[in-house]
Amino acid sequence: MTIQDLINEAHKITGKYRPSDECTSGAVGAALITRDGNVYTGVNIDASCGIGFCAEHSAIAEMLKHRESEIEILVAVNTRKEILPPCGRCRELIYQINKANANTKIILNLNDTITLKELLPLHWLDI
Ligand SMILES: [Zn+2]
């Protein structure tokens, strides 16, 4: 699977959905490939009082459901297919579910990736 293919996987599940007046979902989609080569995806949830979560969270939950935790590469995109690097909370989650994910490649654009450890240096668990 190419970087473009993974971006397409993340984008095809985007599309704003409003299940209630207080909640929207699908503004962002994430897709990841595990060490075993499986692809998992997820969408964000925005809800009142800040109780939603990022698309990366739901893709990670889908991965954990299949008892995998090591991520090779990950991307998140909005409905316009613009790539969004993971927020600080997601960076922390990715690392805490498996320290090997320090080497996870985060897609920045079609030609560039950056590792999680470059985005999350001097991690508090390792100091
Ligand atoms: Zn996030």
Question: What is the CATH number for 89?
Answer: 3.40.140.10
Neighbours of ion ligand 1 (CB under 5 A): 54, 87, 90
CA 104 to ligand 1 centroid distance, Å: 15
> What pLDDT score does 6 carry?
98
Gap between the Cα atoms of 74 and 33, Å rounded: 7
Amino acid at 55: A
pLDDT value of position 11: 98
Q: What's the CA-to-centroid distance between 4 and ligand 1, angstroms?
A: 21
Separation of 87 CA from ligand 1 center, angstroms? 4
Residue 101 CA, ligand 1 centroid: distance in Å = 16
Tell me: pLDDT of 122 over 90. Answer: no
Residues spanned by the domain of 34: 3-126
Give the global pTM.
0.95
Residues annotated catalytic, as ranges: 56
Predicted confidence at residue 68, as pLDDT, reads: 98
Report how many domains make up the chain.
1
Confidence (pLDDT) at 46: 96
- Cα–Cα distance, 88 to 120 (Å, whole number): 8
Separation between Cα atoms, residue 9 and residue 3, nearest integer Å: 10
Check pLDDT > 90 for residue 124: no
Tokens 């293919």 belong to 5
- Does pLDDT of 125 surpass 90? no
Confidence of residue 7 (pLDDT cuts 50, 70, 90): very high
pLDDT > 70: what percent of the chain?
A: 100
pLDDT at 127 > cutoff 80: no
Partner residues linked to 77 by β-bridges: 29, 83
